Amino acid sequence: AHQPAMSPSHHGLGWDASGAPTPMHKRLDGKVAIVTGGARGIGEAIVRLFVKHGAKVVIADIDDAAGEALAASLGPHVGFVRCDVSVEEDVERAVDRAVSRYGRLDVFCNNAGVLGRQTSAAKSILTFDAGEFDRVLRVNALGTALGMKHAGRAMMARRYGSIVSIASVAGVLGGLGPHAYTASKHAIVGLTKNAACELGAHGIRVNCVSPFGVATPMLINAWRQGHDASAADDADADIGLEVAVPSDQEVEKMEEVVRSLATLKGSTLRPRDIAEAVLFLASDDSRYVSGHNLVVDGGVTTSRNLIG
């Protein structure tokens, strides 16, 4: 039989010329997925990869313009629903929308998150603002728990499903972000373990992925706040809705900082790398993996490279 040519860099997997997997390797074929915060950054990479692997995807985000534009550009199997993950009715509606439109829910990715303000006053345990702490915890921790609640409810009916949340290396180590962010990301790792214990009885797997630095608008806004006194220091800037898209130069600078810290040399951590880890946990390739935190960090959390 005719064997299609394969790129040696893909280790023998079947990929076509555009980088899309051949049908045999569509790992989410016919599956229905929701990705929160899917309008840009890491979430956008997850949405794009899920679509390439045959999934029908609902993007759930507060950025209507970006979310709708991305959905429209990806064809009829991608929809957008406005959803603030810290508001329970929004999360419930996003899940109900996916189930009523596509008849089921197989994958829920809790990706939406905020970093919080980056000024030194905001970052210190001695001076942090309680309202700001609450805001970050509501989006990152409560938002993730609400995703698990409503996705779990929808998945139980078919005794099948995979919930994948985006934690962070700041969910494993201290000293990598503002206190609220670190607390919220540790909370996601804990919620993952707890929910895996409970939902496993219903055939539902629950895992998380912990990225190191990826040069997305989130990280670049934070970097701007740290380096430019005139950069906006408010919630809108954190969410990024009102902030200019990062320039190529800013992305390159950020990537260089991350490369200098990673143990693994010769590669740059990109949104697609996080998406590949999420895809593994979302698909049946990981059907016996639950309660796990898959760290994607170029070896940082297992090395001493962050010191100094």
Q: Which of 118, 162, 216, 225 binds ligand NAD (CB under 6 A)?
A: 216
Among the residue ranges 11-19, 72-80, 106-114, 120-128, the one whose residues contact ligand NAD (CB under 6 A): 106-114
- Where does 18-117 show beta strands of DSSP type E? 32-36, 56-61, 78-82, 107-110
The site that binds ligand NAD (CB under 6 A) totals a number of residues, namely 30
Q: Which of 218, 237, 279, 294 binds ligand NAD (CB under 6 A)?
A: 218
**Number of residues assigned to the chain:** 308
The pair of three-digit structure tokens given for residue 246, joined into one six-digit string: 């990062």
Nearer to ligand NAD, 166 or 262 (CB): 166
The SS3 assignment for 201 reads helix
What backbone phi and psi angles, to 5 degrees, belong to 46? -65, -45
Q: How far is the CB of 164 from ligand NAD (least distance, A)?
A: 12
Q: Which of 51, 154, 189, 239 binds ligand NAD (CB under 6 A)?
A: 239
- Reference 212, options 305, 110, 119; nearest CA is 305
Q: Which of 217, 237, 282, 294 binds ligand NAD (CB under 6 A)?
A: 217
Q: How far is the CB of 11 from ligand NAD (least distance, A)?
A: 26
Q: How far is the CB of 248 from ligand NAD (least distance, A)?
A: 16
The SS3 assignment for 292 reads coil
Q: How far is the CB of 12 from ligand NAD (least distance, A)?
A: 31
Q: Do the Cβ atoms of 306 and 298 come closer than 8 Å?
A: no
- Reference 33, options 140, 136, 108, 91; nearest CA is 108
The H-assigned helical ranges of 157-234 are: 179-199, 217-227
In the block, residue with structure tokens 């700001």 = 132
In the block, residue with structure tokens 């950025």 = 63
Nearer to ligand NAD, 84 or 250 (CB): 84
State how far the Cα of 196 lies from the Cα of 208, in Å rounded to an integer: 10
Among the residue ranges 47-55, 58-66, 73-81, 192-200, the one whose residues contact ligand NAD (CB under 6 A): 58-66
Nearer to ligand NAD, 14 or 305 (CB): 305
Per CB under 6 A, 112 contacts ligand NAD: yes
Q: Do the Cβ atoms of 28 and 50 come closer than 8 Å?
A: yes
Per CB under 6 A, 163 contacts ligand NAD: no
Per CB under 6 A, 211 contacts ligand NAD: yes
Per CB under 6 A, 42 contacts ligand NAD: yes
Per CB under 6 A, 251 contacts ligand NAD: no
Q: What positions carry a catalytic annotation?
A: 181
Nearer to ligand NAD, 21 or 116 (CB): 116
CB count in 10 Å sphere of residue 251: 18
Gyration radius of the chain's alpha carbons: 19
Query: Which residues make up the interface to ligand NAD (CB under 6 A)?
Result: 36-37, 39-43, 61-63, 83-86, 111-114, 139, 166, 168, 211, 213-214, 216-219, 239-240
